[in-house]
């Protein structure tokens, strides 16, 4: 299971350079559109539209990180959005401009989320705050809430 650790980086200068200097490799850039549905605290249900397609994703907050329970491609986006809206209600829609990197065994992404701010996501089997420290982020602010709650 993949896990995510999210760190606020609004005030961290030159973060892309820092990742590359630490041995990271720059990947693709993409814009994602999210539709979040009302769920109990700590549970996240969203539809993500990205260049590769549209996905229904279920995430669970745990121990200050996020477990990606499932992320399944969907072909019937409008029908599924109507169904989930009727069942749960739409909580929030967000647009996220992402720059991807790899650093050692982890995937990193710099996320500029409209209305939320800039967030570094570290994704791996057990992402660690040590990567943020390695990037020179002093007193990293770990984000323990879903983007739709920020």
pLDDT in tens, 77-132: 999 999 999 999 999 999 999 999 999 999 999 999 999 999 999 999 989 999 99
Instruction: Evaluate the CA torsion angle 41, 45, 51, 52 in order and state its sign.
Output: positive
Could you tell me the residue range of the domain that residue 111 belongs to?
3-149
Q: What is the mean pLDDT of the chain?
A: 95
pLDDT in tens, 56-92: 999 999 999 999 999 999 999 999 999 999 999 999 9
* Other beta carbons less than 10 A from residue 76's beta carbon: 10
Flag whether pLDDT at 1 surpasses 80: no
**pLDDT value of position 56:** 98
Looking at the chain, the whole-number percentage of residues with pLDDT higher than 90 is: 95
Q: How many CB atoms lie within 10 A of CB 73?
A: 9
Provide the token pair at 18. 């820092």
pLDDT digits (tens, 9 = 90+) for 13-43: 999 999 999 999 999 999 999 999 999 999 9
Predicted pLDDT at 143: 96
Nearest to 47 by CA among 77, 75, 8: 77
122-142 residues labelled b (16+ CB within 10 A) or e (exposed): bbbeebeeebbebbebeebee
What does the pLDDT average to over 47-54? 96
- Report the CATH number at residue 88: 2.40.320.10
Helix H or strand E encompassing 18: helix 15-21
Q: How many domains does the chain have?
A: 1
Q: Give residue 142's pLDDT.
A: 95
């Amino acid at each position: 299971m993949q896990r995510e650790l999210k760190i606020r980086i609004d005030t961290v200068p030159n973060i892309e350079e820092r990742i590359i200097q630490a041995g990271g490799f720059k990947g693709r850039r993409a814009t994602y559109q999210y539709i979040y549905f009302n769920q109990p605290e700590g549970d996240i249900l969203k539809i993500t539209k990205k260049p590769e397609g549209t996905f229904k994703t279920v995430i669970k907050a745990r121990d200050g990180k996020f477990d990606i329970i499932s992320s399944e491609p969907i072909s019937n986006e409008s029908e599924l959005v109507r169904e989930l809206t009727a069942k749960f209600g739409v909580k929030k829609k967000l647009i996220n401009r992402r720059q991807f990197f790899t650093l050692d065994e982890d995937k990193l992404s710099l996320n500029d989320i409209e209305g939320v701010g800039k967030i570094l996501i570290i994704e791996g089997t057990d992402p660690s705050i040590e990567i943020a420290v390695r990037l020179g982020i002093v007193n990293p602010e770990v984000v323990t809430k879903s983007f739709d709650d920020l």
